Chain A
Amino acid sequence: MSVAVENIPSKFEVLDQALESQMTLSMGPQHPSTHGVLRLELQLDGELVIKAVPDIGYLHTGMEKLFEYKKYQQGIVITDRMDYLNPLGNNLAYVMAAEKLLNLEIPERAQIIRVLFCELQRIASHMVWLGTHALDIGAMSPFFYAFRQREKILNLIEAASGGRMTPSYFRIGGLMMDLPAGFERRCKQFLEDFPDALDQFETLVSGNTIWQSRTKGIGVITAEEAIEWGLTGPCLRGSGVSLDLRRDNPYSGYETYDFEVPVEPDGDVWARFRVRMRELYESYKIVVQALERLKPGPIKADAPKVVLPDRDDMRKHMDSLIHHFLIVAEGFNVPEGEVYHAIEGSKGELGCYLRSNGGPKPDRVHFRGPSFINLQALPVMSEGEMVADVVAIIGSLDIVLGEIDR
């Protein structure tokens, strides 16, 4: 059975020359490993990344514009939707900026509960990071183990605030309401299991040789470059810079807690991974301390014109009813001025620039989303790496597009 050569049509001409080795690859915005709607334009030479250009804005919803049309207390709800993995951190940054302008004194119990929830939220946020980061690199099972732990935290947040992803639990002047009955017991139950779960992650992920070879030496950024690019949070600490706003610019009473700031010197994906894994344990330590400190007491500041009164008071006191009506219907006036308040969010420095012109609505609200700035350094980390490593690097940055695009 031989085929005559002359029968092959001429359009199947055999090319005996090298193909163009360079190509431009558009990765995302629907690619699952870009953690949302991030689009990357990659200039590739074979599998080598020559140039990477992030393209963002697919999730832009004009939140900073919307703030200017909403009363101060309505703005809290918008902050939930920015970094939707760390909503309580966003609440705290916004609420504390407003409290700075209003010069409010927050009761101790409210501050402890804020710290407690921020650290629980940090654990939950890191759990999502760990699960998706592992999934991106090809390990599927850590995802289920991580989300199981996150589910427990979301249940705790739901018990306190009624919302899982959008709690809006922190209010200007304190908290929405006190902790429900039995919360401490439920929280302790979670804390009892959590160290074992951490060990499980260490054996599942950290000890895995494939994991190590996929992460060690990949996406290196030096300490000088990291500062130059404005990296904060675990990304900066993974480059050997010991900076944690909880320790260095303390707020909400963080200076009274005993915790360490993990630092890894290498600046690669592995270092950022190790920082976050060690941070989980530090957050656990803070939650344990906060639970021990909880004592009964007020959870709202003594500022009847700003803080909503208790339901019970409204039935008994005329002035409470009036204050409630005025706060809800007209809002409260905030003194003129501008503040910038930064907290250590789960992804880095989460800053809120708040400006008031004296009325019930803010004049300008700007959020310094840590993901926005951390993502900017992606080209620095990924140029010269393989295209498959870009996925690992995006995972190690722990970005949330809701915060980047706002």
Chain B
Amino acid sequence: MTSTKVLHEYVERLKAANPAWVADLKDTYGEVTVIVPRESIADVCQFLKAENGFDMLADLNGADRGPEEDPRFEVVYHLFSTKHFNRLRLKVLLSEDDPHVLTVTSVWKTANWHERETFDMFGVIFDGHPDLRRILLPSDFDGHALRKDYPLRGYEPYSLT
């Protein structure tokens, strides 16, 4: 992970395919982050998977920038290739009022549980997900635990009864 020149080539290909796909680009700590408009995330993933060899979704997770920020939520996709072993990070920014993003379960099946976890922890809604329900927390849990405004110990002691 010394040079990010290779990674920038993929970004160039993305731009060539559709300039609207790359909203912003960051190159930090030897890792390249592409900020993608939320309506085109599934298309971008499909393009990178089908034509650029990023055949594995290594990780998908959410992040909360804090209740005063706008856009508040981030959904972070870590793409990996089992052929050329490069990693690329995609990111979608979402506002608190409308935390909807298209699912990528149609691109990688592994996104299923990742998206359920992100929904569980942040309340991000993945449109088109086949089975969007809580995964780690109980189904009657109130709130989304990893949001910054959710207190560390919860609102009240949780009881199983």
Contact = CB atoms under 8 A, between A and B. Distances in A.
Contacts of B145: 62, 65
Interface residues of A, number: 37
B61 A353 contact: yes
A340 B138 contact: no
Interface in A54-83: 56-57, 60, 62, 64-66, 68-69
B20 to A, nearest CB: 24
Interface in A340-397: 340, 342, 349, 351, 353, 355, 363-364, 366, 368, 372-373, 376
B58 A368 contact: yes
A366 B110 contact: no
Contacts of A337: 28-29
Contacts of A405: 136
A88 interface: no
A215 to B, nearest CB: 25
Contacts of A364: 63-64
Interface in B56-99: 56-59, 61, 63-64, 76, 78, 80, 82, 85, 87, 89
B85 A100 contact: no
A261 to B, nearest CB: 13
Contacts of B108: 228, 230
Contacts, number: 90
Contact of B110 (A62, A69, A230, A351): A230
Interface in B117-147: 121, 134-138, 145-146
A139 B159 CA distance: 40
Contacts of A146: none
A322 interface: no
A372 B59 CA distance: 11
A339 B29 contact: yes
A116 B134 CA distance: 39
**Chain A facing B: main interface SS:** mixed
A227 interface: yes
B146 A248 contact: no
Contact of B109 (A62, A229, A353): A229
A248 B137 contact: no
A68 B63 CA distance: 12
B110 A376 contact: yes
A30 interface: no
Contacts of A230: 56-58, 108-110
Nearest to A336: B28
A60 B56 CA distance: 26
Interface string A233-273: 00000000101000011000000000000000000000000
B80 to A, nearest CB: 8
B110 A373 contact: yes
Interface in A316-342: 337-340, 342
A376 B113 contact: yes
Nearest to A231: B110
A337 B31 CA distance: 11
Contact of B135 (A56, A69, A227): A56
Contacts of A355: 63
Contact of B138 (A57, A342, A366): A57
Contacts of A340: 31, 58-59, 78, 87, 89
Nearest to A374: B110
Given A57-B136, A229-B110, A249-B87, 20 more contacts: A57-B134, A57-B135, A57-B137, A100-B29, A227-B56, A227-B82, A229-B109, A230-B108, A241-B82, A249-B85, A337-B28, A340-B58, A340-B59, A340-B87, A342-B80, A351-B59, A353-B76, A353-B78, A368-B58, A368-B78
Interface of A: 56-57, 60, 62, 64-66, 68-69, 100-101, 227-230, 241, 243, 248-249, 337-340, 342, 349, 351, 353, 355, 363-364, 366, 368, 372-373, 376, 405-406
